[in-house]
Amino acid sequence: MSDLDARLRTWRHHLHRHPETAFEERATGDFVATVLQEAGYEVARGVGGTGLVASMTKGASPRSVGLRADMDGLPLTEVEGRRHGSTSPGRMHACGHDGHMAMVLGAATVLAQEGFDGTVRLVFQPAEEPGRGARAMITDGLLERFPVDAIHGIHNMPGIPAGHLHTRVGGFMASEDNFEIVVTGRGGHAARPHAVVDPLVTGAEIVLALQTVASRNVDPVDPAVLSCTGFVTDGARNAIPTQVRITGDTRSFDPMVQDLLEARIREISTGIAAAHGVSCEVTYTHEFTPTVNHPEATRRAVAAAETALGADRVDGQCPPAMPSEDFGVFAEHVPACFAFLGNGLEPGRGGTPLHSSDYDVNDDVLGDGVRYLVAVAREELAATGPAQASW
């Protein structure tokens, strides 16, 4: 094992043992800042709350590139018995952000030691899980203070062979919108249904009717998911409820599809409620923007991955994925590419699903992530054309 491989594992295990959730990543930021300052980077803290940006300029090139890592863990309890397990009750790195940070720290170390021509910026983003951190950093002046010509990020992915990289041009990860439908009638005794206005039957009909939206209202060539995920009433075994609350979310890539989904949810819910004589209120919120990869940034990412990992381990035309990622906000402002780095196929060897209490990053892929990030940084810095003045 090389010295860098050992450091990657040490960094990753430390971060895994000390997870912090959204906008609480202060100790995480302290650790990351220390490593980067020791490598010679200038570090700015408190960007977007608990985020940080590290910068280094070498040579005379006006080109600049950003490498992004997410910092927050999840409010989950980790399985016991893991040597580097969480020491924070009810918190764990169940999505691999500890691994992403270690990879970017490794890439930063290699670039500082080997040199480059241009400016490298390392963006450590808070609050990815709730989809709030990227916007907070941009609102806090990230775009003006730390301009880059392109930004790149990766996410470990169980179910993809270890060390393989997947990406694509265009829609890569979906938006996420949330909805809540509150149906209100008049409850009463279960033995006297004729004396009540039953919101439960109405709610059930709404849930079933919403299943036709994706299949009958959305063009089949446009990916879309509509899922009802919660159905809660204030009734009892022998009492018909007064109120039913339906919750769920939608996933899509096209803003027009987002608008269509919202419109149909409102129309179907209020229409069925009116037919049954109950009231209905619909709340619809936009949580995550879709992640849309820029063509040139993606071309450079694929070229870098083939150089770093080998062409046989790179898929530059993978299918889009319906989960969401806060990186999409950066991609709205600057040429960007997000990619999946395979974590492994077998449970316990990288294949355990994300957001599981027994999930863990496969340490064997950390070096692959570093090699890719170094290669893509060099690819962007070597690109021709004028530097972008700001995001």
Would you state the pLDDT for residue 348? Answer: 83
Chosen domain end from 288, 311, 337: 288
Would you state the pLDDT for residue 96? Answer: 98
Closest by CA position to 42, among listed 102, 139, 121: 121
Would you state the pLDDT for residue 12? Answer: 98
149 is catalytic: no
Catalytic entry in 78, 128, 176, 254: 128
Would you state the pLDDT for residue 350? Answer: 93
Does residue 79 form part of some domain?
yes
Alpha helices, DSSP H, located in 294-333: 295-309, 328-331
Q: What is the mean pLDDT of residues 234-263?
A: 97
> Do residue 295 and residue 284 come from a single domain?
no
Asked whether the predicted pLDDT for residue 60 surpasses 80, the reply is: yes
Between the alpha carbon of residue 50 and those of residues 107, 178, 328, the distances in Å are 22, 26, 19
358 CB-side CA count, 13 A:
8
**Exposed e or buried b for every residue in 258-279, given b needs 16+ CB within 10 A?**
bebbbebbbebbbebbeebebe
Does residue 134 form part of some domain?
yes
Provide the CATH number for the domain around residue 281: 3.30.70.360
Q: What's the sign of the alpha-carbon dihedral 248, 289, 297, 116?
A: negative
Would you state the pLDDT for residue 198? Answer: 97
Does residue 44 form part of some domain?
yes
Would you state the pLDDT for residue 388? Answer: 41
Give the CA angle between residues 70, 148, 166 to the nearest 5°: 50
Does residue 391 form part of some domain?
no
> Do residue 302 and residue 333 come from a single domain?
yes
Counted residue by residue, the chain has a size of: 391
Provide the CATH number for the domain around residue 28: 3.40.630.10
> Do residue 230 and residue 254 come from a single domain?
yes
Asked whether the predicted pLDDT for residue 119 surpasses 70, the reply is: yes
Closest by CA position to 151, among listed 124, 113, 114, 116: 124
> Do residue 226 and residue 166 come from a single domain?
no
> Do residue 312 and residue 179 come from a single domain?
no
Would you state the pLDDT for residue 28? Answer: 98
Does residue 83 form part of some domain?
yes
> Do residue 8 and residue 137 come from a single domain?
yes
Does residue 355 form part of some domain?
yes
pLDDT tens by residue, 252-282 = 999 999 999 999 999 999 999 999 999 999 9
Does residue 387 form part of some domain?
no
What is the residue whose two structure tokens read 């994706």? Answer: 214
For residue 344, name the pLDDT band (cuts at 50, 70, 90): very high
Q: Summarize the annotated binding site for Mn(2+) as residue ranges.
A: 95, 97, 129, 155, 355
> Do residue 11 and residue 26 come from a single domain?
yes
pLDDT tens by residue, 17-42 = 999 999 999 999 999 999 999 999 99
Q: What is the mean pLDDT of residues 281-289?
A: 97
Q: What is the mean pLDDT of residues 310-333?
A: 97
**CA pair distance 389, 161, nearest whole angstrom:** 39
267 is catalytic: no
> Do residue 311 and residue 371 come from a single domain?
yes
> Do residue 251 and residue 185 come from a single domain?
yes
Chosen domain end from 272, 288, 304: 288
Asked whether the predicted pLDDT for residue 326 surpasses 60, the reply is: yes
Longest dimension (CA), the chain: 82
> Do residue 205 and residue 327 come from a single domain?
no
Residue 222 belongs to domain spanning:
175-288
pLDDT tens by residue, 180-218 = 999 999 999 999 999 999 999 999 999 999 999 999 999
304 CB-side CA count, 13 A:
28
Q: What is the mean pLDDT of residues 356-363?
A: 97
Would you state the pLDDT for residue 289? Answer: 95
Does residue 389 form part of some domain?
no
Split into its structural domains, the chain has a count of: 2
Assigned token pair, 285: 């919120």
**CA pair distance 314, 326, nearest whole angstrom:** 23
> Do residue 132 and residue 243 come from a single domain?
no
Chosen domain end from 258, 288, 318: 288
For residue 1, name the pLDDT band (cuts at 50, 70, 90): low
Coil vs helix vs strand at 226: strand
Contact assessment for residue 232 and residue 245, using Cβ atoms and an 8 Å cutoff: yes
> Do residue 294 and residue 324 come from a single domain?
yes
Q: Summarize the annotated binding site as residue ranges.
A: 95, 97, 129, 155, 355
Closest by CA position to 158, among listed 372, 370, 340, 371: 340
Assigned token pair, 114: 């080997």
